[in-house]
Amino acid sequence: MLSPNAAPHLRSIDSSASPNEPESLEALFEGQPLERIQAGGSLFFEGDAASHVFAVAEGVLRIFKILSDGRRVITGFLYPGDLVGVSLRDRYLYSAEAVVATKVRRFGRGRFQDEIARCPELRPQLFARICDEMAAAQDQMVLLARKSAEERVCSFLMLIARRMGCSSQPASRIEIPMTRLDMADYLGLTIETVSRTMTNLTSRGVIEPTGRHTVAVRRMKTLAVLAGEGDDDEAEASYVRQAVWPH
């Protein structure tokens, strides 16, 4: 899922490092060939034999599960630098699909486990990735259980902004390659609610659409407050109250 602490890009290998001793998980995948997945294409399906671990090199993946009644639940989005399929289970616990044209590198699970066992410096990195996934899962539980529709949408926009490294910058432009249906299935909302909330945020001057898949965040601090994440200082709280309950 969407882990906020993951590196935004794969790092290059340090030329001084031994080719037999990868100094990072990213370096472990660096020598593997790139594989291209078209938008909407599947990387693997839930229940498939978990024979490989993948690193996202370019694009965005969505990971999801299909409920018994046919509904889709998106549990996260993966960006360049993220790993997918790390679970030690014999079969994948979810499906992975490309949101846009995406490139990945694959590593055989057996080889991956051997490298982790052989290189002690890789173990804490893998542990940190697993901890990030657990933290993201907990955040998702809070998002769905406790937050209102507006808080969910604003939290999603803040999450995208953090992934792009612009959550502290004013008037930042963020890319949202996901469809409204993707957002709805991730946030536990209907498409109509997502669209209505985005329109409301636009009319209040918090965001401004700048393209088919881009949005400019005009009031980042307000967005954080509306997401339940920001410092609710008096000036910002006053703006939010006026925006929500105009006189």
Does position 5 have pLDDT exceeding 60, yes or no? no
d(CA 172, CA 217): 5
Residue with tokens 């109509």: 192
Structure tokens at 162: 């953090």
Phi-psi sector, 235: left (phi>0), alpha (psi -120 to 50), beta: alpha
What's the pLDDT tens digit per position in 8-34?
Answer: 333 333 333 445 666 788 888 988 999
Longest pairwise C-alpha distance within the chain: 67
List pLDDT tens digits, range 57-90.
Answer: 999 999 999 999 999 999 999 999 899 988 768 8
What structural domains does the chain harbor? Answer: 25-145 (2.60.120.10), 147-244 (1.10.10.10)
Q: What is the distance in angstroms between the CA of the first residue and the CA of the last residue of the chain? A: 41
Instruction: Find the Cα–Cα–Cα–Cα dihedral 216, 158, 154, 233, rounded to 10°.
Output: -100
Looking at residue 146, its pLDDT comes to 84
Question: Which tokens hold the place of 182?
Answer: 């993707």
Residue 39's CB: how many other CB atoms inside 10 A?
A: 13
Please report which confidence band the pLDDT of residue 172 belongs to, taking 50, 70 and 90 as the band edges: confident
C-alpha to C-alpha distance for 7 and 107, rounded to whole angstroms: 19
- 92-151: pLDDT as tens digits: 999 999 999 999 999 999 998 888 888 888 888 888 887 777 777 777 877 788 889 999
d(CA 159, CA 5): 11
pTM of the entire predicted model:
0.79
Question: What is the pLDDT, as a whole number, of residue 7?
Answer: 36
